[in-house]
Each structure stands twice: as structure tokens, then as C-alpha cells.
Amino acid sequence: MNKLKGRDLLGLADLSAGEIQELLHLAAQLKAGQINLRCNKVLGLLFYKASTRTRVSFSVAMYQLGGQVIDLNPNVTQVGRGEPVIDTARVLDRYLDILAIRTFEQKELETFAEYAQIPIINALTDLEHPCQVLADLLTVQECFGSLTGATVTYLGDGNNVAHSLLLGCALMGMNVRIATPPDYQPDRGIVEQARQIAGRSEVTITDDPVAAVKGANVVYTDVWASMGQEDLAEARIPVFQPYQVNEQLLSMADSDVIVLHCLPAHRGEEITDEVMEGLRSRVWDQAENRMHVQKALLVSLLGAD
């Protein structure tokens, strides 16, 4: 994976299909304990949004590699007091080896990448969540042995996870269907980019959850109101109710369907308890795989000792 050393990961389209497959292979090896790599570097976490899985999985991954983690909480650093991004980026570039950022605007991430020479990782923006979808791809591969030709159906809001799923599935030769209410479809530019990447695989945007689920190998959902939209959550419930992942909807999918959710989940809204705790749920494997994929990503961007 030396070809990734020193690069940024701002979105999934920064990677080729071959590079994603190599990352997944490395993650699988690390997860199985087949290889033991060391990376004595310092990772900075600059998170403007709340986080459980991303924060903990990156931290544990770096500690297990022998490195160190610095939590750059905006509330206790100068970035929270309005220090310009270009100044913060150039200073952190001289202290850290790599920086993962969770923020709102994709443009802020791009500014960090422009002014810092160290690798910058998108740990979530309003546009994309690439690290999540790398873990999703590993989970699907573990379940089915291959990604090519698998059909992934995402139900809910056309948000950052939907965007990264579109790009990730298109890159890996998978069919991807995004089913959302008409006014909540994903970004048209991302959809067009995914269609250009996809080649022969299917990229479908629809408002029909039943048609989207028919024959699907993977049914995926996320909260109906993302971080920063909590005040809209209650009003969205009746709009999104037909997109709830429940047993009735799952009965229309492939008989071997698996269910994914990037968490946190609002049980009883976008997914039922019955499905979340059911035999088809791979939610906890998916969450664990965040750590293994991010460990592979850190090694690839920094190099191993």
C-alpha cells in the first residue's frame, strides 16, 4: 500500500477500486491477526461534531499500532475561538503525522488539505463519510465473499452516508439503490459521479422503498435527521415512515439479506428493534470493522515500521 503513503482521504473517489480492495484485504489480515504492523506516529483528532465509533475506533487503532493520539477538542483549543483554518492547519502540520477531521463543510476539510502537508482524513463531513463506507464494504465482503454484483439498498435521508455508499458501491462494481422521499434525495453531483464510475453496475435513485428492496443483498439505513438537524427530527417521522426497515419490508429482499446501520440508531424510527436484534443484522460486525479498516488506512497513509 505504499502508493497511498502521504495522500489524503477527503472522499471515497480519492481511491481507486484496486486501492479500496487492497485496504479491505489489509484490514481483514489485521482483524484475523495474520500480520502485526507497527506505526509509531502521532494522530490528531479534530472533531467539531459528536462522535463515539469514529473517535474510539481511530484511537484504539492507533494505540494498537504503537502510535499516539491527541484529541484536539475545539472547546479547549484555539480553533474553537476562531483561529483561521489556514493558521491551524500549518501549525498542526508541524506537530502531527496525520490528522482526522470531523466537521460540517467539505470545503473546510479541503482547506486543511491544501495548507497541511500531512495526510488529512475525512472522519465525516456533511457531504461524505468515507471511513464508514470502507467498513461497510468490509462487512459485506465478509458476508458474501465478494463485492462485485451485490445489490445494496439504502433507505432514508440522502445524506453523507448515502453519498459515500453511492461512490463506494460504484467503484467496487456493486449495484446501489437509494430510496428516499422526493425532497430528500442525495446530491445530484454525487449521483452523476457515481453513474460515471459505475460502468455496467446499477445506480438507482427512487422514492419507492418496496421496489428498492426487492432482491437486495444488503439493506442499509441511517437516522432520518443527521447531526445538526435534530430540530427537524420529529417533523420528518411521518415523511420517512414508509422507509422504515422492518420485517415486512425485509421479506421482499433476497433470502440471505443482511441489514446494516451506521449508528447511532433511533430504534422504532428508521429501524425496528426486531430487525436490529435479528439474525440478519450485521450492525455490530459493521461497527467493529470501523477499527480494522481505519487501522489499515493509517498504516497505508503513514507506512509501517
**236: annotated active-site residue:** no
**290: annotated active-site residue:** yes
Q: Which of 8, 97, 136, 222 is catalytic?
A: 222
Considering only the C-alpha atoms of the chain, give the largest distance between any 2 of them, rounded to a whole number of Å.
Answer: 55
Q: Which of 39, 97, 129, 169 is catalytic?
A: 129
**38: annotated active-site residue:** no
**132: annotated active-site residue:** yes
Q: Which of 39, 131, 169, 262 is catalytic?
A: 262
Q: Which of 132, 193, 244, 286 is catalytic?
A: 132
**25: annotated active-site residue:** no
Q: Which of 102, 163, 236, 282 is catalytic?
A: 102
**102: annotated active-site residue:** yes
Contact 158, 225 (CB under 8 A): no
Q: Which of 177, 261, 282, 290 is catalytic?
A: 290
Active-site amino acid positions: 102, 129, 132, 222, 262, 290
